[in-house]
Structure 1
């Protein structure tokens, strides 16, 4: 079964004229013409064998620019007529030379038809069936700008395109309708129903909305730009772990805060296990080695150094790549000292060092239930997780 798509793009779209005065189907959505997006939906679909576009005679140059990316995959455009049904009939007459079994007729002003919707319409075409995608209508009806009542929705639907047909049947229907100039149909299933074809309903899509007004275009454009920015963003998660032994002393430094204690952490720098683990986690999000690569213990420059220096460098490296630190989480494993009284000071210190809101900093603590080197009070360990957004 061969399937053709006929895209109707011959209207003037006066309710959504662009700033340059171009018809709406050539207005920009997410940096490209609306018609480009509509064509792509069908030209890239595995179930579509041919695509033809009906355009206005004045839009040849605009169409050439909008369809350039699909050169070689589209049939030559056909010039549309004064009414939508005239444009559709012109397109069907042109398609007859290619002999498709099925045709899907679609409005250019619906650029968000997806693969699943197109497949449902193709699958709904039968010997005497013309599938029309539909969605439920709004609840209330109005007259003169005022709500006049609520209509039961069981038998009411909002029709969408693409609408699918056996090619010979819909061509015959349009030819018959053209014999009476007083007949004016809003869509092709209306023509089919008038001609006696059986119209069936298939599930539509709320995303497949028709862009009618200038506000519709502006909203769709903003939506697409937001989605594309989100799609162009990579979320990275890095983890870190560090441990230092406890030795003679009177304070430990954890997450940038000095805490009175009967011992101190032993290390080349200030031995802040919390910041060391977090530094490794941050470096992990950009695949840039670990703390030992950038600040080797063999380098005397780092003897006794405050570990917030290491953390700041890791944060700066992320920002240098256009990244944003979304969240950091450190878990301290120790029997003593108690972490709770110092938690807020630790969060504030880390937030300031990284230049992020303190609401993005989490610190937790747990004991080791007396087990292992942590449980025996021989050392303190830390685990860290960092979440980073990168372009």
Structure 2
């Protein structure tokens, strides 16, 4: 088991523990544990991971898996396997959660969500509602009011009584908590040998941590039986689907200062001035970096390369683009197209377009016909028209694995 790195927990995003160590015997073992069975052309756990890894508020993700499932998990998760921390789970769900929380301890988040891998239909709105309800000493539980009439059975298999459903809810996951209180509750239960809690809200209740109910989702079903797997597969297979193509855009501007050249799209162009900036001030590449980062929700250029950091003083902006490309490819993305418009009165871009295209082709690792570099003036209007600086607009299109429902 390894801990989450300091870099992963550096921001204030919400951590996630996904429980995936069970054997899922009720779903049948012919095709392996239920979290690795196929629905809609992908593993159950792959859909679950994608729901959290694509959410902008989510930071480190820990997955508790069975000791025998390392290779199975990596195959099922694909490119996302390298974006999470996999730890060996315990013999019970409760113990797996505790071990997952411990993996976060050295660089603890403020808040954590705990989710069952077998709930692949969790959506962004439910995640948002749960996160919003977490307080410093308060947990959050998504739940649905019980709609069916409830009957209590006698020892003889007869109806003993009708149970009032007023105020009763069916609990779902993800359940959210302030990190340290829920970890302390799990540790206390472990040391006292109390191992009969069926979910984390029950442990929180036992530890006197208040838990707020938030509206659950009827789509957020837990796949328990073989029939559930079959119905989930049918649901996904019959839904109209479209390729997961994402488009990001970026904008940047830099002012002129005294100098002898400008760097645009990786090419040094002789000029009577240069652009002011902490790095080489390549306005085109800065805009392109933001566009690429936008396709996978990875923030902006300032997030990764803050101008306050002296190591980036005078740095070549191709470093920024190549970093963004690496992030996109780590998520399984394929760059389909890059389009940059440079807005300036001078210098002339046309004579250098071929060199710029060549430089971008090497940075992006795509063919030249997928790259467009255009230039326009601002018709003497505004700061660009007064030749006070240069602006750039960039658009990037990236194809990610899988598809999305209509």
Work out the CA distance in 2 between the residues paired with 1:114 and 1:140: 28
- Does residue 58 of the first structure (1) align with residue 59 of the second (2)? no
Q: Post-superposition shift, 1:95? A: 0.9
1:135 aligned to 116, 127, 144, which one? 144
Unaligned runs of 5+ in 1: 234-391
Match of 1:219 among 231, 240, 250: 231
Work out whether residues 150 and 164 of structure 2, in 8 Å CA contact, stay in contact via their aligned partners in 1: no
Following superposition, the deviation at residue 199 of structure 1 comes to: 1.0
Query: SS of the counterpart of 1:57?
Result: coil
Displacement of 1:67 in angstroms is 1.6
Deviation of the 1:97 alpha carbon: 2.0
**C-alpha distance in 1 between matches for 2:242 and 2:13:** 36
Counterpart CA distance in 2 for 1:184 and 1:132 is 19
Question: Structure 1 32/85 Cα, relative in aligned 2: closer, same or farther at 3 Å?
Answer: same
SS at structure 1 position matched to 2:18: strand
- The separation in 2 between residues aligned to 1:219 and 1:100, in whole angstroms, is 36
The alignment partner of 1:36 has SS state of: helix
Paired with 2:87 and 2:242, the residues of 1 have a C-alpha distance of 37
Distance 1:134 1:146, change over 3 A: farther
- The superposition leaves residues 112-160 of structure 1 with CA deviations (integer Å, 9 ceiling, x where unpaired) of 0000000001100011211000001142223276655543333100000
Counterparts in 2 of 1:1-391, with a 5 A limit?
Answer: 1-20=12-31, 22-74=32-84, 76-142=85-151, 143=153, 149-227=161-239, 230-232=240-242
Whole-angstrom CA distance in 1 between matches of 2:45 and 2:223: 11
Native 8 Å contact 2:15 2:58 kept in 1: yes
Does the CA-based 8 Å contact 2:186-2:203 persist in structure 1? yes
Cα deviation, 1:236-265, whole Å, max 9, x if unaligned, reads xxxxxxxxxxxxxxxxxxxxxxxxxxxxxx
Partner residue of 2:348? none
Q: Whole-Å Cα distance in 1 between the matches of residues 199 and 44 of structure 2?
A: 20
What CA distance in whole angstroms lies between the structure 1 residues aligned with 2:148 and 2:126?
A: 24
RMSD of equivalent CA atoms: 1.7
Separation in structure 1 between the aligned mates of residue 223 and residue 160 of structure 2, nearest angstrom = 27
Aligned to 1:381: none
TM-score w.r.t. the length of structure 1 is 0.56
Aligned-residue offset at 1:232 = 4.7
The superposition leaves residues 2-50 of structure 1 with CA deviations (integer Å, 9 ceiling, x where unpaired) of 3101100000100002423x11110111111100001111111011011
Name the residue aligned to 1:353. none
For each residue in 1:174-218, what CA deviation from the matched residue of structure 2 results, as whole angstroms up to 9, or x when unmatched?
A: 000001224410000111110110111001000001110001100
Work out whether residues 74 and 81 of structure 2, in 8 Å CA contact, stay in contact via their aligned partners in 1: no
In structure 2, stretches of 5+ residues that fail to align are: 1-11, 244-406
1-structure distance, mates of 2:194, 2:61: 30
Higher-Rg member (1/2): 1
Q: Distance in 1 between matches of 2:118 and 2:74?
A: 17
Q: Is the 8 A contact 2:119 2:223 kept in 1?
A: yes
Structure 1 contact 4–104 (Cα < 8 Å) conserved: yes
Report the 3-state secondary structure (helix = DSSP H, G, I; strand = E; otherwise coil) of the residue aligned with 1:67: helix
Residues in 1 aligned to 2:189 and 2:140: alpha-carbon distance in whole angstroms: 20
Following the alignment from structure 1 to structure 2, what is the Cα–Cα distance between the partners of residues 107 and 28?
17
